[in-house]
């Protein structure tokens, strides 16, 4: 059953069908949130809030984009709100270390760029990125969204997405090289 079919059934009164959407997207949403904010407890709370808001706002979903794209927009808006309220640089390193211990079977950055043992180093390097760069990297590499979809999620022009992704790659490469983890790209 497609997302759109499930949404139709939920709108038709079968609200329990929303659980299927939660089941499909809980891991990617949680992964996105934990990479954005770091701490597991905060990420769990935010991920729950994402699905609550999506359920409450489902009638407002017009279908002009894919459901998953709209879901990630809600996710990133909540993450951005949380980050604005909770800017504490001293906590960032601890949160990145906590995020580092999470299993991540979805990671597949540019082919040949990473080996399994380097993923923790990449997460630490991503944790050092400003949130505007971390967002485009997460949505492109982890969530496999296109530039157009990322532009919609983050509410910015496609050209800005391209520029931020280019800069983020450069910063990640420099960070990995300075830590001894970079490749010969």
Ordered structural domains, the chain, with CATH: 3-178 (1.10.1740.10)
Separation CA 12–CA 15 (nearest Å): 8
Each residue's pLDDT tens digit, 15-45: 999 999 999 999 999 988 988 887 788 889 9
> Whole-structure pTM over 0.85, yes or no?
no
Contact 173, 185 (CB under 8 A): yes
- Supply the pLDDT for residue 78: 92
Q: Where are the alpha helices (DSSP H) in 18-157?
A: 18-37, 40-57, 67-85, 89-100, 119-128, 131-137, 147-154
Q: Which residue has the higher pLDDT, 100 or 117?
A: 117
Each residue's pLDDT tens digit, 81-112: 888 888 655 444 444 444 444 444 444 544 44
What number is the average pLDDT over the span 37-55? 90
Separation CA 49–CA 85 (nearest Å): 16
- Supply the pLDDT for residue 7: 93
Question: In the numeric block, which tokens belong to residue 102?
Answer: 């999470």
- Supply the pLDDT for residue 90: 45
Separation CA 3–CA 24 (nearest Å): 9
Each residue's pLDDT tens digit, 151-182: 888 888 999 999 999 999 888 888 888 876 55
C-alpha torsion 24→131→65→30, nearest 10 = 10
- Supply the pLDDT for residue 59: 87
């Amino acid at each position: 059953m497609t997302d759109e079919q499930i949404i139709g059934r939920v709108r038709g009164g079968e609200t329990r069908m929303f659980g299927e959407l939660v089941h499909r997207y809980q891991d990617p949403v949680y992964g996105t949130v934990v990479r954005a904010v770091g701490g597991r407890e905060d990420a769990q709370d935010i991920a729950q809030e994402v699905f609550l808001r999506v359920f409450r706002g489902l009638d407002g979903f017009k279908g002009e984009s894919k459901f998953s794209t709209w879901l990630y927009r809600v996710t990133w808006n909540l993450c951005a709100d949380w980050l604005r309220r909770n800017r504490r640089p001293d906590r960032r390193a601890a949160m990145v270390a906590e995020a580092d211990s999470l299993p991540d079977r979805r990671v597949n950055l540019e082919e040949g760029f990473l080996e399994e043992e380097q993923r923790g180093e990449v997460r630490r390097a991503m944790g050092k990125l400003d949130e505007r760069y971390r967002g485009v990297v997460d949505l492109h590499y982890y969530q496999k969204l296109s530039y157009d979809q990322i532009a919609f999620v983050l509410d910015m022009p496609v050209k800005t997405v391209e520029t931020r992704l280019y800069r983020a790659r450069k910063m990640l490469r420099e960070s990995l090289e300075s830590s001894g983890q970079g490749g010969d790209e």
